[in-house]
A and B are shown apart, each in its own frame.
Chain A
Amino acid sequence: MYSLSKSCYNSAMKIAWVRIITDICIFIGVLTLPWWLSVMLLMACIIYFPLYIEALFLAFLFDTLYATQYEFPQIGLLIATMILLITMFVRTRIRN
């Protein structure tokens, strides 16, 4: 029982670390890579990780850094939200 819970804990920690490292890489990517490459990386992460909420913060950062104030400044955030919701919906409809 103890070894089972310990192995579960280890695998959860491993997943968490992978996710944190990916977040840092994507953050650096958003700031340094061409925007279309950053968007593709974000989409890949949304599809790969379950409930990739970080995409919302990264899209918000994208808008905050680059969007002008005259137009609606949250286009990136809205697109990321839509993709995230669609991916979640599809994910729950596909049998593992």
Chain B
Amino acid sequence: MNFPLRNNNRNNKRNNFLSRGVYITVGIVCVLIASNFLFPNFNRALGYALSKPVWFIRDSALSSGGNFFAYFSSKSVLHAENLALKDENTSLKLKSYDYDTILSENQELKGILRKNTNRLLARVLSKPPQSPYDTLVIGSGTSEGISTGDRVYLSDTVVIGTVTSVTSETSLVTLFSSADQKITGENTRTGVSFEIIGKGASNLTLTVAKETDILWGDTFIHPAISSEVIGSIYYIDTESQTSFKTAYLRIPANMSSAKWVFIDKVSR
């Protein structure tokens, strides 16, 4: 019985392709990592310069084409939506009376306690579904006086993270919910402070002894002169066999729909 001889030429070709591919890959990876260590800011600035036009085109396309599908909604759906919006509007009006009163009082108190509030409005260029690390890219940088460590707010009282990297025109904001970020949060109901750890996707966790007084819906604030909301508890896991329980918090806003943020410049 005859067996065909093994095709050594073909095997050599394959091995050559593999070894050449490995050399090229490893070489490129080394160059990229070295460049990141040698010129970190240059790489970041170049990346943002390349990305900014795409982000602007996407935003303008979404804002102009956002109402396209509204033309195809049926009459009954629109009617139901209209009624729901009217109800919501009534309840929001009632809430806004309280809100206006509390806000003016809050502003007065802030004015007394911290005279140089220095807030900037910045456009969000890229946000969590695009970023796997729970970071935001905003369209303001050192040219507008932003520096690392500045606090970032979603509204007047909701604090969401800090600026961790700045270029001249853009900044990278790390959210408190970014993996392994640690912050101190104070329970507004009991006044007790805890260490809260980021878990990604706008979630944070808090591990405490089972006897600790925390409940679903408890709100946590950043301990500062003014109240800055970090998040509220939406689930408490007490099933585990250990003597601890884990509370899960969520940032009180949908980060994927955030278009603007406020930067509180640290006064230097």
Contact of A92 among B14, B24, B28, B172 (CB under 8 A): B14
Residues of the B chain whose Cβ atoms lie less than 8 Å from the Cβ of A64: 36, 43-44, 46-47
Q: Decide if A34 touches B54 in the complex (CB within 8 Å).
A: no
Name the CB-closest residue of A to B45. A64
Q: Give the total of B residues in contact with A, Cβ under 8 Å.
A: 39
Residues of the B chain whose Cβ atoms lie less than 8 Å from the Cβ of A78: 29
> Which stretch in A1-9, A12-20, A69-77 binds the other chain?
A69-77
Residues of the B chain whose Cβ atoms lie less than 8 Å from the Cβ of A92: 14-15, 17-18
Shortest C-beta distance, B29 to chain A (Å), equals 5
Q: Decide if B18 touches A88 in the complex (CB within 8 Å).
A: yes
Residues of the A chain whose Cβ atoms lie less than 8 Å from the Cβ of B21: 51, 85, 88
Residues of the A chain whose Cβ atoms lie less than 8 Å from the Cβ of B135: 66-68
Task: Evaluate whether A53 and B178 lie within 8 angstroms (CB atoms) in the complex, with A31-B54, A34-B129, A68-B164 already known.
Answer: no
Contact of A66 among B28, B33, B126 (CB under 8 A): B126
Name the CB-closest residue of A to B148. A69
Q: Decide if B126 touches A73 in the complex (CB within 8 Å).
A: no
Shortest C-beta distance, A87 to chain B (Å), equals 10
Q: Decide if B174 touches A32 in the complex (CB within 8 Å).
A: no
Residues of the A chain whose Cβ atoms lie less than 8 Å from the Cβ of B130: 30-35, 38, 66
Mark A19-62 against chain B: 1 for CB-CB distance below 8 A, else 0: 00000000110111111101000000000001101001100111
| CB of B217 closer than 8 Å to a CB of A | no
B40-62 contacts to A (CB < 8 Å) = 40, 43-44, 46-48, 50-51, 54-55, 58
Shortest C-beta distance, B130 to chain A (Å), equals 6
Q: Decide if A35 touches B129 in the complex (CB within 8 Å).
A: yes
Q: Decide if A66 touches B24 in the complex (CB within 8 Å).
A: no
Contact of A77 among B32, B50, B165 (CB under 8 A): B32
| A and B contact pairs by CB, cutoff 8 A, 29 listed | A27-B54, A32-B54, A32-B55, A32-B130, A34-B129, A34-B130, A35-B129, A35-B130, A35-B131, A36-B132, A38-B130, A50-B17, A53-B24, A53-B28, A56-B25, A56-B28, A64-B36, A64-B46, A64-B47, A65-B48, A65-B131, A66-B172, A67-B133, A69-B40, A74-B32, A74-B33, A77-B32, A88-B17, A92-B15
